[in-house]
Chain A
């Protein structure tokens, strides 16, 4: 849709997300130490709390399910042709169950190792495609037109769907006031690496506009000069991405359990990790046709994120701020 203007659009949505983050931080100032579930309870009572909680759990389960299925499908396609996809999905979910049976600190600590490795792997690919870079490739600068970049392209803000977790971070922080630093750092790192990944594609390959592939980053690895040193360089990267996926599912399940804990007022929800993963497994296996799955997953990522994160959450925060200004008290 954007053609050669992908980089321009990425910079534009990064600017939009930074503005959005400033807004969220300002709205959160009155509710430090509370997450969006607490805020929805403050605003609309138990009904709104349960409704938002269920929506959030549903969002996380769907996101984890689609991501697991898509990754497993690509993994099967590349290396395990004709193997049952359920085995691969179960392997990823099994890791998430085990990780959640331990303390959530173990998930966070393993993330501090896996996330940098994943980011370094993206940086590493640049070295091996740098000789393919042509500065002229992202021209014509406005691609398919300015309206596609700045109007329709604004919906690409959904690429920052990781902002979802920002609405749940506050109670987990030791120093609650650090939320603004964390938010800006996360958005900037995420934006820079998104820009980086797009720039690698746009500056190195010109057929990406006309050909849609299963995974652009896989395409970069396969076509990079890494194959001059390694016969199958993509194996290394698939391993890293598999680790990243396991880490993401573990985090998604962890947040599902945290939300459930709040909704049910229970002390412990770890034992439900298996149940959450079972639901993820069922959802991931619901759609058999890959083209339908891709269409539904893409629609979900886009509209689900826009409606829930950029729509409902923001409205809840605005509503709660208005209520507080009108004299509403927060229950400690």
Chain B
């Protein structure tokens, strides 16, 4: 083939390729053929092993206007009894007349009842699915997963998918739960040095105000479904579900979640309420964040883990009253000491709860114990997760009360008079 002929051949081929690539393939799958799932719910079935619920987005209906119900009009929720997720999705395909697609699924909701039987089969199956996004959040619902989906009301968001994306991130400014994704959960199931947690969710029916014990109680001691709201039933995520391997074994309330985030170095911001050391206030509300990464150290003492955790906290004072001088070093020191004692006690209680009551290393302390073993065989023989029950803890917390917000000294004039 001479040069000219070769060039003509290449040009013709390239032209053909360009023409073909811009034409529509007859088998192309688009929005008309696919049903996009935004949330997937799993319950124990009555007649079959599983009840699969899907929240499916209806394209463009997010712009359709407001809906009187608390449920967004842009979604449909259906459930089906099936022996497995794959067969359930196949049945949905037949029922809907469209192919169910999980590529926009933002959240996986599993009922507490099903989670206590073990979830590894579902997690492995979904991780094996090409379309399912492993950065979807995993929620353990204290009520039925279907009910959770039905009451998940994007009141401030028209698009359900966006709502599911944003809602679990509330942990970044409350600390009451943690944004746990499926890949993080999957990794923790397979790890030999940690146990998984998941977001704890429930439907709050608005009749929980009786649960408020007294004015001094901290709003963060609730778990999902207990927060004293009044209003339309709606879902809430509060606390964490704790697993032993793939089986649900317990839960942490909102405050314990804050302790978990502090110890595991994941706290962004949180609000806590501590007993006041100054007479002008009964309780002090503080907005806290981690000043430095929490340093954890593990020693093995007679075969048992001895765990030292050293969090460094920065606090901002939210509560204010008359006659408080935050320029006074003595007052600052008192508040810092009170915060330190309060948090140290609660973090210690939390750590002993994970070790003695739950026997689950949800803070991945095992990672810090790996250095004592030279081979994987030695590590596996030691069995960290078994020995975690024998762990004992030391918490050395450091608090730095950095500032208040707009008010600094409400006793200035009085101080001047006294001087």
Contact A143 B135 (CB under 8 A): no
Contact of A3 among B133, B371, B376 (CB under 8 A): B376
Which A residues lie within 8 Å of B370 (CB)? Answer: 136, 139-140
- The closest CB in chain B to the CB of A232 belongs to B103
Which A residues lie within 8 Å of B135 (CB)? Answer: 222-223, 227
Say if the beta carbon of A142 comes within 8 Å of chain B: yes
Say if the beta carbon of A295 comes within 8 Å of chain B: no
Docked pose: A139 CA to B17 CA in angstroms: 51
- The closest CB in chain B to the CB of A210 belongs to B190
- Contact digits for A42-79, partner B, Cβ 8 Å, 1 yes 0 no: 00000000000000000000000000000000000110
Docked pose: A211 CA to B134 CA in angstroms: 15
Docked pose: A4 CA to B368 CA in angstroms: 15
Docked pose: A143 CA to B376 CA in angstroms: 5
Say if the beta carbon of B331 comes within 8 Å of chain A: no
Given contacts A77-B130, A139-B373, A140-B379, contact A134 B190 (CB under 8 A): no
Which residues of chain A in 263-284 are interfacial with respect to chain B, using CB atoms and an 8 Å cutoff?
Answer: 271
Which B residues lie within 8 Å of A30 (CB)? Answer: none
A191 vs chain B, min Cβ distance (A)? 25
Say if the beta carbon of B13 comes within 8 Å of chain A: yes
- The closest CB in chain B to the CB of A143 belongs to B376
B15 vs chain A, min Cβ distance (A)? 13
- The closest CB in chain A to the CB of B190 belongs to A207
Which residues of chain B in 182-197 are interfacial with respect to chain A, using CB atoms and an 8 Å cutoff?
Answer: 183, 186-187, 190-191, 193
Say if the beta carbon of A206 comes within 8 Å of chain B: yes
Interface size class of B (residues with CB under 8 A): 20 to 34
Say if the beta carbon of A300 comes within 8 Å of chain B: no
Which residues of chain B in 331-390 are interfacial with respect to chain A, using CB atoms and an 8 Å cutoff?
Answer: 367-368, 370-371, 373-379
Say if the beta carbon of A171 comes within 8 Å of chain B: no
Contact A94 B10 (CB under 8 A): no
Docked pose: A77 CA to B128 CA in angstroms: 11
- The closest CB in chain B to the CB of A2 belongs to B376
- The closest CB in chain A to the CB of B17 belongs to A94
Docked pose: A77 CA to B129 CA in angstroms: 10
- Contact digits for A191-223, partner B, Cβ 8 Å, 1 yes 0 no: 000000000000001110011000000000011
Say if the beta carbon of A162 comes within 8 Å of chain B: no
Say if the beta carbon of B156 comes within 8 Å of chain A: no
Contact of A145 among B9, B190, B191, B375 (CB under 8 A): B375
B156 vs chain A, min Cβ distance (A)? 21
Docked pose: A136 CA to B377 CA in angstroms: 17
- Contact digits for B2-45, partner A, Cβ 8 Å, 1 yes 0 no: 00001001100110010000000001000000000000000000
- Contact digits for B134-149, partner A, Cβ 8 Å, 1 yes 0 no: 1100000000000000
Which A residues lie within 8 Å of B14 (CB)? Answer: 98
Which A residues lie within 8 Å of B373 (CB)? Answer: 139-140
Say if the beta carbon of A81 comes within 8 Å of chain B: yes
Docked pose: A141 CA to B134 CA in angstroms: 29
Chain B CB within 10 Å, residue with most, of A142, A206, A211, A227: A206
A266 vs chain B, min Cβ distance (A)? 14
- The closest CB in chain A to the CB of B14 belongs to A98
Which B residues lie within 8 Å of A137 (CB)? Answer: 367
Which residues of chain A in 69-108 are interfacial with respect to chain B, using CB atoms and an 8 Å cutoff?
Answer: 77-78, 81-83, 94, 98, 101
Docked pose: A261 CA to B263 CA in angstroms: 67
Say if the beta carbon of A186 comes within 8 Å of chain B: no
Say if the beta carbon of B1 comes within 8 Å of chain A: yes
Contact of A140 among B130, B134, B183, B375 (CB under 8 A): B375
Contact of A136 among B9, B133, B371 (CB under 8 A): B371
A76 vs chain B, min Cβ distance (A)? 10
Contact A271 B377 (CB under 8 A): no
Contact A140 B187 (CB under 8 A): no
Contact A227 B133 (CB under 8 A): yes
Given contacts A136-B370, A136-B371, A137-B367, contact A206 B187 (CB under 8 A): yes
Contact B130 A271 (CB under 8 A): no
Which B residues lie within 8 Å of A3 (CB)? Answer: 376
Docked pose: A211 CA to B183 CA in angstroms: 12
Contact of B378 among A78, A94, A134, A140 (CB under 8 A): A140
A79 vs chain B, min Cβ distance (A)? 9
**Sample of 30 A–B contacts (CB below 8 Å):** A3-B376, A4-B376, A82-B27, A94-B17, A98-B10, A98-B13, A134-B367, A136-B370, A136-B371, A137-B367, A139-B370, A139-B373, A140-B370, A140-B378, A140-B379, A141-B374, A142-B374, A143-B375, A144-B377, A145-B377, A205-B187, A207-B186, A207-B187, A207-B191, A222-B133, A222-B134, A222-B135, A223-B135, A227-B133, A227-B135
A101-B9, A134-B367, A144-B377 are known; give 4 further A-B pairs, CB within 8 A: A81-B130, A140-B370, A145-B377, A205-B187
Using a CB–CB distance below 8 Å, which chain B residues touch chain A?
1, 6, 9-10, 13-14, 17, 27, 130, 133-135, 183, 186-187, 190-191, 193, 367-368, 370-371, 373-379
Can you list the 6 inter-chain pairs with the closest CB atoms, starting with the nearest? A139-B370, A136-B367, A207-B190, A140-B373, A207-B187, A210-B190
